[in-house]
Amino acid sequence: MAAPSTDINDQAPNRRRLPNERPALEEAATTIVSEAEEMGYPQASCFALRLAIEEAMSNAFRHGHRDLEPDADIELAWDVSPDRITIVVEDQGPGFDPETLPDPTAIENIEKPSGRGLLLIRAYMSSIDFNASGNRVTMVYLHPDKSGD
Amino acid sequence: MPSAESRLRITDESGVTQVGFIDRNILDEANIQQIGEELAEIIDADDSPKLCISFANVDHLSSAALGTLITISNKIKAKNGQLRLAQIDPQIYEVFVITKLNKLFEIHDTTEDAIKSFG
């Protein structure tokens, strides 16, 4: 069984604690996307990254922190390299089992207003993994020219 | 009326309410909530609402924004109204395809086409 690193810094050395305040979230997402742009990732990659970061942070606060104080913060960590980008979002909630989520594209769910964030993250990222307790998601995006496709 | 500054551009022409977004990025949950409330007011004020929502100049859209669109669509259906979406950037259209919401919404390339399609 794969043993993902237990230390957030091993995979993504840049780290920031973020409150649920739009300017801070916006600035953090923009920082990562700007680093990707500077590293030569194409615009489509930047679109994908922006969406995945926003959805992961939103899930952390909306679902992970549902029963916590509004001022509880999340941790965002990232590493941008020429061939891959790793982004880790960890909340302070109890976690969840991603396998139990209903398919939002199923006919019985298509008119429900929520439940699409993880679907979009999976669609746009090369891989995503949750820690055992389900309160930390690690998203990896491979450079489209270097991913071997 | 909402106390905050409107997030929408709204025009009414030939019985169709045309809606555009002020923001290029529809990501901020507070803004998305406000957009939902503003659209709900429009729908509530009409017996059989006809709404055309344009995504011209919209660069990013979150799943929360999609959720608001679904809520709006359900409200319009409940009043036997009609909803059209138009001018969706190809990258954002892909989000609709991934979520299969391109099957739920009637989407047109241009606002003109969308307006012509109202019955």
Stretch (H or E) spanning A140: strand A136-142
By the 8 A CB rule, do B58 and B21 touch? yes
Here the CATH number for the domain that contains residue B110 is: 3.30.750.24
- pLDDT at position B5 is 87
Inside any domain, residue B26: yes
Is residue B81 in a domain? yes
Secondary structure string (H, E, C) spanning B33-46: HHHHHHHHHHHHCC
SS3 at position B47: coil
Please state, as a whole number, how many other Cβ atoms lie within 10 Å of the Cβ of residue A34.
12
For the cut 80, the answer to whether the pLDDT of residue A39 exceeds it is yes
- Mutation target to probe the A interface, by most A beta carbons within 10 A, among B100, B101, B103, B105 is B100
Mean pLDDT over the full length of chain B = 94
In chain B, how many domains are there? 1
Q: Look at residue B95 and tell me if it is in a domain.
A: yes
Evaluate whether residue B2 is within a structural domain.
Answer: no
pLDDT at B13: 86
Asked if A50's CB is within 8 angstroms of B99's CB, the reply is no
Average pLDDT over residues B40-61: 96
Name the pLDDT band for A2 (thresholds 50, 70, 90). very low
Separation of alpha carbons A110 and B117, rounded Å: 23
Please state, in angstroms and rounded to a whole number, the distance separating the CA atoms of residues B17 and B83: 10
pLDDT at residue A6, as a whole number: 53
- Could A123 and B98 be called an inter-chain contact, meaning their C-beta atoms sit closer than 8 Å? yes
Nearest to A18 by CA among A89, A80, A118: A89
Cβ neighbours for B46, distance < 8 A, ≥ 6 positions apart: B17, B79, B81
B-side interface with A, Cβ within 8 Å? 27-30, 60, 62-64, 66-68, 70-71, 73-74, 91, 95, 98-101, 103-104
Which amino acid does the sequence have at A54?
Answer: E
Q: Are A9 and A15 within 8 A, CB to CB?
A: yes
Q: Of A44, A51, A112, which is closest to B60 when you measure between CB atoms?
A: A51
Q: What is the pLDDT of residue A147?
A: 67
Strand B82-86 relative to strand B107-108, pairing? parallel
Query: Alpha carbon of A144 to those of A44, B80, B112: distances in Å?
Result: 10, 45, 36
Residue of chain A with shortest Cα separation from B90: A44
Domain assignment present for residue B41? The answer is yes
Question: What is the C-alpha to C-alpha distance for residues B21 and B32, in angstroms, rounded to an integer?
Answer: 11
Q: Is residue A95 part of a domain?
A: yes
Range of the structural domain that residue A82 is part of: 12-142
Tell me if A126 is assigned to some domain: yes
Q: What is the pLDDT of residue A7?
A: 59
Say if the Cβ atoms of A58 and B104 lie within 8 Å.
no
Residue A59 falls within a domain, yes or no?
Answer: yes
Per the CB < 8 Å rule, is A55 touching B63? Answer: yes
Is B99 in Cβ contact with A120 (below 8 Å)? yes
Place of tokens 């746009």: A124
Domain assignment present for residue B3? The answer is: no
Supply the range of the domain harboring residue B93: 8-116
Report how many domains make up chain A. Answer: 1
Residue B1: the pLDDT is 45
Q: Which pLDDT belongs to residue B2?
A: 45
Question: Is the residue at A148 inside a domain?
Answer: no
Domain of A24: which CATH number?
3.30.565.10
Question: What pLDDT is stored for residue B14 in this prediction?
Answer: 83
Residues of A in contact with B63 (CB under 8 A): 55, 58, 114, 116-117, 119-120
Q: pLDDT for A80-120, tens place per residue?
A: 999 999 999 999 999 999 999 999 999 999 999 999 999 99
Using 50, 70 and 90 to split pLDDT, how confident is the model at A149? low
The C-alpha atoms of residue B38 and residue B6 are separated, in whole angstroms, by: 8
Per-residue b or e along B67-92, where b marks 16 or more CB atoms closer than 10 Å to that residue's CB:
bbbbbbbebbeeeebbbbbbbbbeeb
Instruction: Say if A94 falls within a structural domain.
Output: yes
Flag whether A3 is in a domain: no
Q: Note whether residue B84 is domain-resident.
A: yes
Residue type, A79: D
With beta carbons less than 8 A apart as the criterion, state whether B22 and B9 touch. Answer: yes
